[in-house]
């Protein structure tokens, strides 16, 4: 979930695992006119990417189930371009709880969220294997995620980058882990 401070209560990406809501939004935006559209283009890091963000009013004809109360806007984000010389195109949908009518404001919020996703969650997924964990109890999964975040913060506080080689330095090495904690407590 993405929170926009002082602008909305929630902005949530709707993914395919919520297939009914996804289909209803997809159908609604294909038959409606956007309230606002914002397009941007970026070049760098071996890719050229364009984005088109469109905001739609949530109306009764969208037929979104009542359990999704509070939706005021439906967002469509289309991305296309070249990554490492290969063409790509994808479309994402979001729901928004405030009647924001500026696609540029929403586009900025979505891009800001991806900075967090790339800087924290990607590291936790790839290097700490959070997505591969077989923990089924929500409280235990929360505790493991909490300790993973602490570990990342400690590693960063000592000047290390959270990359695979860094984790090799500390994995199953009690003295090195102890030194890392001592460094953090001494600050």
What is the pTM (predicted TM-score) of this model?
Answer: 0.64
For residue 60, the model assigns a pLDDT of: 83
For residue 116, the model assigns a pLDDT of: 59
For CA atoms 131, 134, 137, 140, give the dihedral sign.
Answer: negative
Q: What is the pLDDT of residues 119-133, one digit of tens each?
A: 666 777 777 777 777
Task: Yes or no: say if 74 and 58 are a contact pair by the CB < 8 Å rule.
Answer: yes
User: What are the tokens at 163?
Assistant: 């990359």
Beta bridge partners of 162: none
Query: SS3 for 177?
Result: helix
Max mean pLDDT among 83-97, 99-113, 157-171 falls in 83-97
**How far is C-alpha 93 from the geometric centre of its chain's CA atoms?**
13
For residue 80, the model assigns a pLDDT of: 96
């Amino acid at each position: 979930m993405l929170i926009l401070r002082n602008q909305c209560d929630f902005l949530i990406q709707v993914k395919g695992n919520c297939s009914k809501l996804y289909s209803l939004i997809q159908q609604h935006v294909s038959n409606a006119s956007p309230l606002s559209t914002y397009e941007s283009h970026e070049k760098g890091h071996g890719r050229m990417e364009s984005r088109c963000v469109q905001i739609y009013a949530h109306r009764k004809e969208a037929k979104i189930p009542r359990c999704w109360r509070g939706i005021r806007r439906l967002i469509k984000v289309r991305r296309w371009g070249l990554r490492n010389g290969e063409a790509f195109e994808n479309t994402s949908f979001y729901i928004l709880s405030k009647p924001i009518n500026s696609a540029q404001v929403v586009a900025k919020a979505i891009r800001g969220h991806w900075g967090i996703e790339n800087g924290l969650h990607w590291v936790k997924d790839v290097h700490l294997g959070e997505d591969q964990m077989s923990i089924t109890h929500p409280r235990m999964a929360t505790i493991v995620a909490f300790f993973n975040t602490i570990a990342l913060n400690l590693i960063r506080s000592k000047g290390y980058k959270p990359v695979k080689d860094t984790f090799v330095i500390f994995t199953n090495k009690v003295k090195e882990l102890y030194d890392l904690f001592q460094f953090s407590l001494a600050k």
